[in-house]
Chain A
Amino acid sequence: MQIFRMELWRSLRSWVYYTASLIAILVIFLTFFMTFREDAALLDELLQNFPPEFRAAFGFANVDLSQIEGYLSFIFSYLVLIGAVYGMKLGVSLLSEESRRKTADFLLSKPVRRDQVFLAKFSAAMVCVIVQNLLLFAAGLALIPILVRESYDIGIFALLSFSVLLVQLFFIGLGQVIASAVQTLKQVMPIALGVVFFFFIIELINQSLLEKALTYLTPFSYFKGASILHLHGYDTSYLLSDIVVFLVLTLLAAWLYRRKDIHAT
C-alpha cells in the first residue's frame, strides 16, 4: 500500500500537467465551435478539393463538422493522441523510474515480492488514467452546454471521451513491457513520443490506403469518431482486441519484471 501511495505522489505532477492540458484543449476547441460552425459550409467546400486520403488521414472524413458531435469527434482525434503519449509515458516511467533514479536497491531489498511492487505501480497508473478520464468527461459535461448552447448527444460524447482511456490502456501495456524488458532506460519521453507517433503514422498510412489491412495494428484505428457516430457505440471486435492486447501486455510485463536482474548503477 505504501508503494502505491508513493507512486501516486510521484506521478502527481505530470498527471496534473497532462490532465490540465487535455481539458484546456477541449475548452479551447469548444469556444471556437460557434464561430467555426458559421463557416463550416465553406470549410466543407474547401475540404472537398483535397484528396479523400488526406481528409481521412486528418480526421475530416465522413463527419459533419457543423454538427457538435462531428466537431467533438474531430477534437477527440487529437485528445486521444495526447492521452496516448501520457499513457505511454506512464507505463514506461513507472517501471523504469526506480532503475533510472537508482532507488531500485532500496525498494527491492525491502520485504516485498516483485509482484507486489508491480501491482502497486500498475494500480497507481490505473488510478491516474481513470481519474484523468473522469475529469475530462466531467469537464465536457459541465462546459459543452455553456460553450456550445445547443443540445447534443451525451452518449456519443461519453463514448468519444472514454476512447481516450481505451487507447491509453493499450499504450500503458506497451510501455510496461518496454520498461520491464530493457535493463535501464535513460530517458522516457523520446521513447514515449517515438512509439506513439509510430502507431499514429501507421494509422495515417492505414487511413490513406482506405483499406482495413492494418487497422488491428494500431489502437488509433480502434475508436474512430466516424465509427462511433455511425454505430452509436464501440466496434466490439476492436474493443475486444484493445482489452486483450492491454491484458496480455500487462501480464507479459509482470512476468518480465519478476525475472528482471536489478543491476547496481
Chain B
Amino acid sequence: MSASNVIEIRNLTKYYGKKSRGILDVSFDVMEGEIFGFIGPNGAGKSTTIRTLLSLIYPTSGSATIFGKDCIRFGHEIRRHIGYLPSEVFYYDNMKVLDLLKYSASFYGKVDMKRIEELSTIMDLDLNRKIDDLSYGNKKKVGIVQGLLHNPKLIILDEPTSGLDPLMQQKFFDLVQLENRKGATILMSSHILPEVQKLCSRVAIIKEGRIMKIEDIRTLRNTAYKKIAVSAETDLQADFAKMAGVTNCQRIDQEVTFLFKGNVNDLVQVLGTRSLQNLTIEEPDLDEIFLHYYQADA
C-alpha cells in the first residue's frame, strides 16, 4: 500500500443472493488523517461497503485493506483500531449504560474509566440509566461513546447524525474533529450533503452500487448547484431558462424553479432587475445533484 492510505478498496463487489445488487466494482482510498465523506442516497450501497470493511459481510469479489492488511483475513486485528458507529444502534436492553460501555471497553484491554466519563460528559450521557429506557437519540450517544472509547486510529461512522438533535450534532462534529486532530482517520457516510461539506476534505459519491465520483470537497463546492425558486406576477421562466448556468427550469403556477451553477453575482444581478414576490435559494437535495452526475456521465 502507499504509505499514506489507511483504507484501500479495490473493485469491491457484493451481491446478495444471485441477483440483488449490493455494490458493484467499488474502488477508493482513504488517506491517513483525512475526514473522508461517503455520500449517496439510501440504498446506494454505503452501508454494504462499510459492513464489508468490518467483515460483517463478505464480498462477492474484490478486496479491501485497512492499515495495509486484508480486512477479511485480519479482520479481528484491524478492528482493534477501528471505532464503528452503525446507522442504527441496538444494545443489550437490560444492561445499564455504564455496564455496556465497560463490556465494550473490555474487548480492547483495560477499561479506561476516565475516558468513558470524559466522552459521556461531552455527549451529555447519563451512565446510570438502563438501555431500555433511553430514547433513540440517547442510544445513539451510547453508540458514539462506545465507538470512541478505545481511541481508535480509524473511525467509521455510518449515517452518524440521524436521531441527534442539532445541538448534539454540533457537539458530535466537534468531537469527531478533535479525534481527527489527534490523528484519527475518519470515514463517514451520509445522505446529507451539507454535513459532509462541513466536515470532510474529500468525498466519494455512490449511486446504485457504483462510485460516481471521488472529489475534493472544494471542487464539489465550486461546482455546487443552488436550487432557486422565484415567484413573480410576470412569467419569468423565459428570462431564466436562457441564462448561462441554469438547468431544470420549470414553472408551476407563478413559481419558477431552476438549478443554478456559476457565479452567484450574475444571478443576483438578473434577480435585482425583476419585481419578485418571493425568493428562496437552497442547497439542492442529493437526488438533484445526482441528476447532474447522471447527465454528465451519460
Residues of A within 8 A of B (CB): 2, 6, 10, 101-106, 108-113, 116, 259, 261-265
Closest B residue, CB atoms, query A102: B90
- What are 17 A-B pairs at a CB distance below 8 A? A2-B103, A6-B103, A10-B92, A102-B88, A103-B90, A104-B56, A105-B56, A109-B56, A109-B82, A110-B107, A111-B108, A113-B76, A261-B56, A262-B56, A263-B51, A264-B86, A264-B88
Shortest CB distance B82–A (Å): 7
Q: Which 10 A-B pairs have the closest CB atoms?
A: A102-B90, A111-B80, A261-B57, A110-B107, A262-B56, A111-B79, A109-B84, A113-B76, A105-B86, A2-B106
B77 A111 Cβ-Cβ under 8 A: yes
18 new A-B contacts, CB < 8 A, other than A104-B56, A112-B107, are: A2-B103, A2-B106, A2-B107, A6-B92, A102-B90, A103-B90, A103-B91, A106-B89, A108-B56, A109-B54, A110-B79, A110-B107, A111-B76, A111-B77, A112-B76, A113-B75, A262-B57, A264-B51
Shortest CB distance B166–A (Å): 25
Closest A residue, CB atoms, query B79: A111
What separation, in Å, do the CA atoms of A86 and B146 have in the docked complex? 34
Chain B residues with Cβ below 8 Å from A111 are 76-80, 107-108
Shortest CB distance A23–B (Å): 26
With an 8 Å Cβ cutoff, the count of chain B residues facing the other chain is: 29
Chain B residues with Cβ below 8 Å from A261 are 16, 56-58
Interface of A is mostly: loop
What sequence of 0s and 1s flags, for each residue 84-98 of chain B, a beta carbon within 8 Å of any chain A beta carbon? 101111111100000
In the complex, whether B47 has a CB less than 8 A from a CB of chain A is yes
Please pick, from A101, A109, A259, A263, the residue contacting B90 in the complex, using a CB distance under 8 A. Answer: A101
What sequence of 0s and 1s flags, for each residue 144-187 of chain B, a beta carbon within 8 Å of any chain A beta carbon? 00100000000000000000000000000000000000000000
Closest B residue, CB atoms, query A116: B76
Shortest CB distance A15–B (Å): 16
Closest A residue, CB atoms, query B56: A262
Please pick, from B56, B92, B104, B107, the residue contacting A101 in the complex, using a CB distance under 8 A. Answer: B92
B56 A110 Cβ-Cβ under 8 A: no
Chain B residues with Cβ below 8 Å from A109 are 54, 56, 79, 82, 84, 86
Chain A residues with Cβ below 8 Å from B54 are 108-109
Chain B residues with Cβ below 8 Å from A263 are 51, 57
Closest B residue, CB atoms, query A104: B56
What sequence of 0s and 1s flags, for each residue 45-71 of chain B, a beta carbon within 8 Å of any chain A beta carbon? 001000100101110000000000000
B107 A259 Cβ-Cβ under 8 A: no
Closest B residue, CB atoms, query A183: B16
Shortest CB distance B172–A (Å): 19
Chain A residues with Cβ below 8 Å from B80 are 111
Shortest CB distance B199–A (Å): 22
What separation, in Å, do the CA atoms of A108 and B87 have in the docked complex? 15
Query: With A6-B103, A113-B76 known to touch, is A264 a contact of B47 (CB < 8 Å)?
Result: yes
What separation, in Å, do the CA atoms of A259 and B72 have in the docked complex? 11
Closest A residue, CB atoms, query B86: A105
What separation, in Å, do the CA atoms of A6 and B94 have in the docked complex? 12
What separation, in Å, do the CA atoms of A112 and B54 have in the docked complex? 11
Closest A residue, CB atoms, query B90: A102
Closest A residue, CB atoms, query B75: A113
What separation, in Å, do the CA atoms of A113 and B55 have in the docked complex? 10
Chain B residues with Cβ below 8 Å from A102 are 88, 90
Most central of A259, A261, A263 by chain B CB within 10 Å:
A261
Shortest CB distance A6–B (Å): 7
Chain A residues with Cβ below 8 Å from B75 are 113
A265 B57 Cβ-Cβ under 8 A: no
B56 A103 Cβ-Cβ under 8 A: no
Chain A residues with Cβ below 8 Å from B57 are 261-263
What sequence of 0s and 1s flags, for each residue 108-122 of chain B, a beta carbon within 8 Å of any chain A beta carbon? 100000000000000
What separation, in Å, do the CA atoms of A106 and B80 have in the docked complex? 13
Chain B residues with Cβ below 8 Å from A262 are 51, 56-57
Chain B residues with Cβ below 8 Å from A112 are 76, 79, 107
Chain A residues with Cβ below 8 Å from B104 are 106, 110
Chain B residues with Cβ below 8 Å from A101 are 90, 92-93
Most central of A106, A108, A109, A113 by chain B CB within 10 Å:
A109
Shortest CB distance A185–B (Å): 16
Chain B residues with Cβ below 8 Å from A259 are 58
